[in-house]
Structure 1
Amino acid sequence: MSLIEKPQSSPEREAYYQKIDKQNYSALWNVLSGIVTPTPKSDCIPHLWEFAPARELLMEAGGLITAKEAERRVLILQNPGLRGQSRITTSLYAGLQLVLPGEVAPAHRHSQSALRFVMDGGGACTAVNGERTLMEVGDFVITPPQAWHDHGNDSDTPMIWMDGLDIPMLSFFDASFAEGLGEDMQEITKPTGDSLARYGANMLPVDFERKGLASPIFNYPYARTREALETMRRRDEWDPCHGLKMRYVNPVDGGWAMPTISPFVQLLPKGFKTAPYRSTDATVFSVIEGSGTTTIGNTTFHWKPKDIFVVPSWYPVVHEPGEDAVLFSYSDRVAQQKLGIWREARGDH
């Protein structure tokens, strides 16, 4: 007997297993090797979604159903190994949302944490807890748990962004709640840019009281992010596994920007090839700038701007940009670290 082998069967044992099954028991020794595994084991597999065909499908959906009728007009990115489960990794959800000019995705709230990563268009807005923000390509936007939020598009172009949520995580804990506001749009009670001004300059109001675990900043504009990456690259401090990789933080405590989802951005310069890297947090990547290849296990994907790909838990990954590239990504690392189970390996270990 070992952690990777099942005990041999016999007629007497099979009869016993049938007997205990009728009383709602089962034998651990028959399943131990499948539930306590020497290394992570998942049905999640590497995959890449090209943006161009996804956009065509979204625009087709735009002619079939309105944003209001759908509540959210979204195409779910189904991991091929997890089909029918609304998951891109075991613990995370991803979708591509379309809001056409003049449309509103009505106000609602839910216990799931959500991020929006803007991929196409510009000038639409999202409102979170009484504050509205404009959305531009590359912006990272947070919807904290139980925050009222709606989306509107007053521009003359369709808006598409990637939604990332912890839906599978909350389903595991049976902790999902949701409700609609009953109005298309919530009342705006704060000026645009209020949260960034209050919390985004390494300062907090003197009487600040923390409410919830998510960052009080809910839009991290890409223009500021890109400027920071360019400033930092001058120091030539390249991590062999990541290039220049940064995490979005909560200015209240310096921790992760979201309680269950870890968002990142990284710069990979032309001619740079990362050393092999693996970690237990399966990660979703979206290409902001540049093109290149990523090898995940034995599979190599060629990517370009706006493509999305997923790296499952504990798969070795190597990035090789063909030009300067910027990647946005998110994973469940923050949740794993809080539970004390996150693990990484660098190089060929």
Structure 2
Amino acid sequence: MNAPHPTAQLRQQLYRDMDPHNLTPLWEVLHALVPPQPRTPCVPAFWKYDDVRPFLMRAGEAITAEEAVRRVLILENPALRGQSAVTQSLYAGLQLILPGEVAPSHRHTQSALRFIVEGSGAYTAVDGERTTMHPGDFIITPSWTWHDHGHEAQGPVVWLDGLDIPMIRFFDAGFAQNDASKSQKVTRGEGTSFARYGHNMAPVTSDAPYGKTSPIFSYPYARSREALEQLERNTPIDAWDGVKLRYVNPLTGGWTMPTIGTFLQKLPAGFDGKGWRQTDGAVYSVVEGEGEVVITSGETETRHAFGPRDHFVVPSWHTARLSSSKGCVLFSFSDRPVHQALGIHNEERLS
């Protein structure tokens, strides 16, 4: 056996000697730190609602909304178990509230979205204004705003929670505060925010009440779906996305939240989409209809047939392709606003 090359011995001795000084050689890890293309540890994942719902209902029997503060089952990426993350930057979970319950008021640095999956009649209150929940509605609780949830109607209500928890954790910038009372005092009539900002108009002396977040905190599904239907009838269908729109901040025309981008799209009947990949990992919630998603990375392919209320995640730089024989509507969210703000967003549409 040949003796180790003197240079190799010198290197190993160098590593041993400098290790106690918290030094490590870049050249040993450079290719991992700066890879030739994005290399996420996340994997595609799929949650069938019919499988998840029984656990939500059992959670409703096991703990109250007040005890839990937020009764949520976290959608954890299988490759990130224990990290409360669906991608490396985003959190997702399904929250349940039952008639007569209140999820107590608090506020936190993290921005949050609620996308209503099942049931009607519950409400979210944000800084003194309530909005009633209906399936398909997209609701925002902006960073550092007081918010609580309640249910004064019938039947369980379930919604998808999307937050930037892992991102805020990365920056070590998270704060939270509990309110003195369970429910905040209502100071504005329901729909006030939408009346001020939701009709292509704004108060003459207005400022931005929620900073960089949209002043509209409730986007009703009926209005959004109507827009998709009209575009489907009157405009060309995109070969990758079908008909896809992003929710916007009416004051700026930009994203509704500084860290999370939200989208709604309709795949027409017979849609067989082309593949695409992007650096922002995305979480999908099926609003209505059925279809299939095929996700590939290298030689690995995953394929899921989806239906109403199912959820799935497409990780960064994984090729995805959507199809639907009868048509469907999909809500999704990602961290694209941060990618674009930093100038690092990349997307490829494959032919």
Match of 1:41 in 2: 39
Q: Give 1:294's aligned amino acid.
A: V
Match of 2:138 in 1: 140
Q: Give 1:24's aligned amino acid.
A: N
2: CA distance, partners of 1:53 / 1:295: 20
How far apart are residue 9 of structure 1 and its match?
A: 8.6
Q: Which runs of 4+ in 1 moved over 6 A?
A: none
Query: Structure 1's 101 and 9: CA in aligned 2 closer, same or farther, altered over 3 A?
Result: farther
Match of 1:314 in 2: 317
How far apart are residue 10 of structure 1 and its match?
A: 2.6
1: CA distance, partners of 2:273 / 2:51: 29
Match of 1:225 in 2: 224
Match of 2:251 in 1: 252
2: CA distance, partners of 1:195 / 1:73: 27
2: CA distance, partners of 1:259 / 1:81: 27
2: CA distance, partners of 1:242 / 1:290: 16
Match of 1:242 in 2: 241
Q: Give 1:330's aligned amino acid.
A: F
Q: TM-score, normalised by structure 2?
A: 0.96
Query: Structure 1's 9 and 324: CA in aligned 2 closer, same or farther, altered over 3 A?
Result: farther
Q: Is 1:289 equivalent to 2:288 in the alignment?
A: yes
Q: Give 1:261's aligned amino acid.
A: I
2: CA distance, partners of 1:296 / 1:82: 18
How far apart are residue 11 of structure 1 and its match?
A: 3.0
Match of 1:113 in 2: 111
- Aligned with residue 30 of structure 1, among 23, 28, 31: 28
Q: Is 1:125 equivalent to 2:128 in the alignment?
A: no
1: CA distance, partners of 2:16 / 2:309: 53
Q: Which consecutive residues of structure 1, in runs of 5 or more, have no partner in the other structure? A: 1-7
Q: Give 2:323's aligned amino acid.
A: E
**Equivalent pair of 1:290/1:322 in contact (CA under 8 Å):** no
- Aligned with residue 326 of structure 1, among 329, 337, 340: 329
2: CA distance, partners of 1:106 / 1:9: 64
- Aligned with residue 302 of structure 2, among 299, 322, 327: 299
Q: TM-score, normalised by structure 1?
A: 0.96
2: CA distance, partners of 1:11 / 1:283: 47
How far apart are residue 12 of structure 1 and its match?
A: 2.6
Q: Give 1:327's aligned amino acid.
A: L
2: CA distance, partners of 1:15 / 1:96: 52
Q: Is 1:201 equivalent to 2:204 in the alignment?
A: no
How far apart are residue 155 of structure 1 and its match?
A: 1.1
Percent identity reads 53
Aligned to 1:241, what secondary structure does the other structure show?
coil
How far apart are residue 331 of structure 1 and its match?
A: 0.2
Cα RMSD of the aligned pairs, angstroms, is 1.1
1: CA distance, partners of 2:234 / 2:280: 29
Aligned to 2:133, what secondary structure does the other structure show?
strand
Q: Is 1:342 equivalent to 2:345 in the alignment?
A: yes
**Equivalent pair of 1:130/1:188 in contact (CA under 8 Å):** yes
2: CA distance, partners of 1:242 / 1:232: 13
Match of 2:263 in 1: 264
- Aligned with residue 81 of structure 1, among 66, 71, 79: 79
1: CA distance, partners of 2:348 / 2:170: 27
How far apart are residue 222 of structure 1 and its match?
A: 0.4
Query: Structure 1's 314 and 9: CA in aligned 2 closer, same or farther, altered over 3 A?
Result: farther
Q: Give 1:341's aligned amino acid.
A: I
1: CA distance, partners of 2:19 / 2:303: 45
Aligned to 1:309, what secondary structure does the other structure show?
strand
Q: Which consecutive residues of structure 2, in runs of 5 or more, have no partner in the other structure? A: 1-5
Q: Is 1:93 equivalent to 2:100 in the alignment?
A: no
Q: Deviations over 1:253-289 (max 9, x none)?
A: 1001111000000000111111110100000000001
1: CA distance, partners of 2:102 / 2:136: 21
How far apart are residue 53 of structure 1 and its match?
A: 1.8
**Equivalent pair of 2:232/2:268 in contact (CA under 8 Å):** no
Match of 1:278 in 2: 277
2: CA distance, partners of 1:9 / 1:277: 46
Q: Give 1:292's aligned amino acid.
A: G
Q: Deviations over 1:225-275 (max 9, x none)?
A: 111111111113211111100000000010011110000000001111111
Query: Structure 1's 279 and 16: CA in aligned 2 closer, same or farther, altered over 3 A?
Result: same
2: CA distance, partners of 1:205 / 1:251: 12
2: CA distance, partners of 1:9 / 1:214: 56
**Equivalent pair of 2:148/2:183 in contact (CA under 8 Å):** yes
Match of 2:170 in 1: 172
2: CA distance, partners of 1:19 / 1:295: 50
How far apart are residue 78 of structure 1 and its match?
A: 0.4
1: CA distance, partners of 2:41 / 2:116: 28
1: CA distance, partners of 2:312 / 2:9: 48
Aligned to 1:232, what secondary structure does the other structure show?
helix
Q: Deviations over 1:109-148 (max 9, x none)?
A: 0000000000001110000011000000000000000010
1: CA distance, partners of 2:251 / 2:110: 21
